[in-house]
């Protein structure tokens, strides 16, 4: 933990001076757009599609991107932005639905067409200025639309076309407004990164001042000023989020940091021991361990409804944390490893677009209960950015690349009632999954791998005897930001070893299933 952050090339630069806003119209790619912009070293946030001009200007954006969406612009009740946003002089890029919307607002026409495009398409570029600077005449793009712009006003110029979409990209003659019918943010659009780069640099004038090293320095300095001579409590789980949060705080305030680990009985196999060993090796702060397994299992007795599980776990956690926190003198601040996807999915962002998807994210509850001032140094970052930051801070790779673990722990992987016996079965099965993924050299290539204990039993045969035992589902996904995910295409021999070992080694299991659903429509966790 003595790693020194690299010095900024420009110590006076402010990493949030260059900010681009994504107006979310319900696209499954909205978060991907934000990540692609950040990859260009420009800070990006997602906001509601109906944000007011006044709220938008308060962000001082260098550019605005209108996302895609599932609606048709001509439908009653279809989401729309305030038309005044197009007259602010801030560059605007509409993507898919976003392009259709700006063209509709500015005098064009959008129609449903029988020549719908889903998937790859060959795009012919007719103008190589601005967005398409450096793009070849022919390029592959990714389409996903049933409507398209059929006519634009005389103030627009077409920039590209496909065989079935004669207006695949547009530029307004007098306003800094652009549109793309295809999705530049997905990797299937081969020149998508260049197109976004052109919008950010050529059109918006961004220089790329968003760097994680600068972010870490400014965050450490900000926390140091915020805390002063006070003491901060940090909930430690051993995951990358809480570890990076603790590392930032340790660099900022050193001995003024106290950490609390609550063993709720819902941890993975040998989790507490691993956290204690890593904490001892990499941190030198005050650590409090609370053994609360009985309290949590008692609270979960007889409960099967997923949200009720989360509520009860959250309430029990608050009680345990509160009891331990009162023993720490002069503590005035609470640090949490909240990430940007947590803020989005919990509907907690002031200008954020999302309704609440999950309870028990690290986005509230404890500060109000305890009367602490909240510190969330990672709430502007995606998971991949947190991992990069952890490496910048000198955390070892085994912590930085550890697969995420949900706040409610194994309770949301133990479908049905949560009991001590069922948790023991799940722990052993889960340990086999992780061991085999690691043995195959796939742990870093996969993003999350775990077992799920199903609330069903199935007939089997072992040693010529009939069995009626538990079924376990194996879940393994690939993702960069955990907002969208695809199931991991594990080799059959790896799946075979996982199945054989669990059935042979974990008493009470006779059937293994592999989950091949993506997010969306499924979530990564089963509950």
pLDDT, one tens digit per residue, over 445-496 is 999 999 999 999 899 887 767 788 999 999 999 987 676 789 999 999 999 9
Q: Higher pLDDT residue, 30 or 365? A: 30
Domain 212-400 architecture:
3-Layer(aba) Sandwich (3.40)
> DSSP characters for 208-272?
----HHHHHHHHHHHHHHHHTT-EEEEE--SSHHHHHHHHHHHHHHGGGEEEEEEE-S-PPTTHH
Q: What is the pLDDT of residues 75-95, one digit of tens each?
A: 899 999 999 999 999 999 999
Evaluate if residue 357 carries a pLDDT over 50: no
pLDDT higher than threshold 60 for residue 318:
yes
Instruction: State the Cα–Cα distance between residues 22 and 49, nearest whole angstrom.
Output: 8
CATH number of 413-514, picked from 2.40.160.20, 3.30.530.20, 3.30.300.10, 3.40.50.2300? 3.30.300.10
Percentage, residues of the chain above pLDDT 90? 63
Catalytic residues: 96, 183, 185
In the predicted model, is pLDDT for residue 342 greater than 80? no
Topology given in CATH for the domain delimited by 19-203: Rossmann fold (3.40.50)
User: Would the pLDDT of 114 be above 80?
Assistant: no
| 353 — pLDDT class (breaks 50, 70, 90) | low
What are the tokens at 464? 């010529």
pTM to 2 decimals?
A: 0.71
Between 495 and 277, residue with greater pLDDT: 495
420, pLDDT greater than 70: yes
User: Where are the CATH 3.40.50.880 domain residues in the chain?
Assistant: 19-203
369 pLDDT exceeds 70? no
For residues 208 and 188, what is the distance between their CA atoms, to the nearest angstrom?
Answer: 24
Q: Which of 412, 488, 509 shows the shortest CA–CA distance to 452?
A: 412
User: How would residue 364 be classed by pLDDT, with cut points 50, 70 and 90?
Assistant: very low
Task: Answer yes or no: is pLDDT of 359 > 50.
Answer: no
**In whole angstroms, what is the distance from residue 520 CA to residue 483 CA?**
8
Q: 34: buried, middle or exposed (CB in 10 Å: 19+, 13-18, 0-12)?
A: buried
pLDDT band at 199 (very low <50, low <70, confident <90, very high): very high
pLDDT reading at 403 higher than 80: yes
> What does 80-141 look like in DSSP terms, one character per residue?
---GGGGGSS--EEEETHHHHHHHHHTT-EEEEEEEEEEEEEEEEES--SGGGTT--SEEEE
Cβ 130 vs Cβ 203: under 8 Å: yes
Q: List, for residues 122-179, the tens digit of each pLDDT value.
A: 999 999 989 999 999 999 998 887 888 999 999 999 999 998 899 999 999 999 999 9
Backbone angles phi, psi at 23, to 5 degrees: -85, 120
The predicted structure's pLDDT at residue 7: 44
Positions of CATH 3.30.300.10 in the chain? 413-514
> Of the ranges 320-334, 428-442, 470-484, which is most confident?
428-442
- Output the pLDDT for position 321: 86
Mean pLDDT over 421-439 rounds to: 98
Coil, helix or strand at residue 336? coil
Q: What is the DSSP letter of 203?
A: I
Give pLDDT, residue 480. 73
Give yes or no for residue 51 having a pLDDT over 50: yes
More confident residue, 405 or 481: 405
pLDDT of residue 465: 75
Mean pLDDT of 356-375: 58
pLDDT value at 389 more than 60: yes
Residue 355's pLDDT is 44
> 143 near 186, Cβ under 8 Å?
no
- pLDDT at residue 504 is higher than 70: yes
Q: Would you say 209 and 41 are in contact if contact means Cβ atoms under 8 Å apart?
A: yes
The mean pLDDT value of the chain amounts to 88
pLDDT, tens only, 209-267 = 888 888 888 899 999 999 999 999 998 877 889 889 999 999 999 999 999 999 999 99
């Amino acid at each position: 933990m003595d790693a020194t952050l690299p010095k900024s090339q420009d110590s006076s630069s402010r990493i949030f001076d260059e900010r681009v806003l994504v107006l979310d119209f319900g696209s499954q790619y909205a978060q991907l757009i934000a990540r692609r912009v950040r990859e260009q070293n420009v800070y990006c946030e997602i906001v509601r599609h109906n944000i007011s001009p006044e709220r938008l200007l308060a962000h001082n954006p260098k550019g605005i991107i209108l996302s895609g969406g599932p609606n048709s612009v001509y439908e009653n009740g279809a989401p729309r932005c305030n038309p005044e946003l197009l007259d602010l002089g801030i560059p605007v890029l509409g993507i898919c639905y976003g392009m259709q919307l700006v063209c509709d607002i500015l005098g064009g026409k959008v129609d449903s067409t029988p020549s719908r495009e889903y998937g790859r398409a060959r795009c012919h570029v007719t103008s190589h200025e601005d967005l398409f600077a450096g793009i070849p005449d022919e390029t592959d793009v990714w389409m996903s639309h049933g409507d398209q712009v059929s006519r634009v006003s005389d103030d627009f110029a077409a920039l590209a076309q496909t065989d079935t979409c004669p207006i695949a990209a547009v530029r307004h003659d007098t306003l800094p407004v652009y549109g793309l019918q295809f999705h530049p943010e997905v990797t299937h659009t081969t020149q998508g990164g260049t197109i976004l780069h052109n919008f950010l640099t050529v059109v918006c004038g961004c220089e790329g001042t968003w760097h994680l090293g600068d972010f870490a320095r400014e965050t450490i300095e900000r926390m140091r000023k915020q805390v002063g001579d006070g003491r901060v409590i940090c909930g430690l789980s051993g995951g990358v989020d809480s570890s990076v949060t603790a590392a930032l705080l340790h660099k900022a305030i050193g001995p003024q940091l106290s950490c609390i680990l609550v063993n709720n009985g819902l941890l993975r196999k040998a989790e507490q021991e691993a956290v204690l060993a890593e904490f001892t090796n990499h941190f030198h702060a005050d650590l409090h361990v609370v053994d609360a397994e009985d309290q949590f299992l008692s609270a979960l007795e007889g409960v099967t409804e997923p949200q009720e599980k989360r509520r009860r776990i959250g309430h029990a956690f608050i009680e345990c944390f509160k009891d331990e926190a009162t023993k720490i003198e002069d503590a005035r601040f609470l640090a949490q490893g909240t990430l940007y996807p947590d803020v989005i999915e919990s509907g907690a962002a002031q200008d954020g677009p999302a309704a609440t998807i999950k309870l028990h994210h690290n986005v509230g509850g404890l500060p109000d209960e305890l009367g602490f001032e909240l510190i969330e140094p990672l709430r502007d970052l995606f998971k991949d950015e947190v991992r990069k930051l952890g490496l910048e801070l000198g955390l070892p790779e085994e912590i930085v690349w550890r697969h995420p673990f949900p706040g409610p722990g194994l309770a949301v992987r133990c479908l049905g009632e949560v009991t001590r016996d069922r948790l023991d079965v799940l722990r052993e099965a889960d340990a086999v999954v992780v061991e085999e993924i690691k043995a195959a050299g796939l742990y870093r290539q996969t993003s999350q791998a775990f077992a799920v204990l199903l609330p069903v039993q199935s007939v089997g045969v072992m040693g010529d005897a009939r069995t009626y035992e538990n079924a376990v589902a194996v879940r393994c996904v690939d993702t960069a930001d955990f907002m969208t995910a695809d199931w991991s295409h594990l080799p059959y021999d790896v799946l075979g070893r996982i199945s054989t070992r669990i059935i042979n080694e974990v008493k009470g299991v006779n059937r293994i299933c592999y989950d091949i659903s993506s997010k969306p429509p499924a979530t990564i966790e089963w509950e």
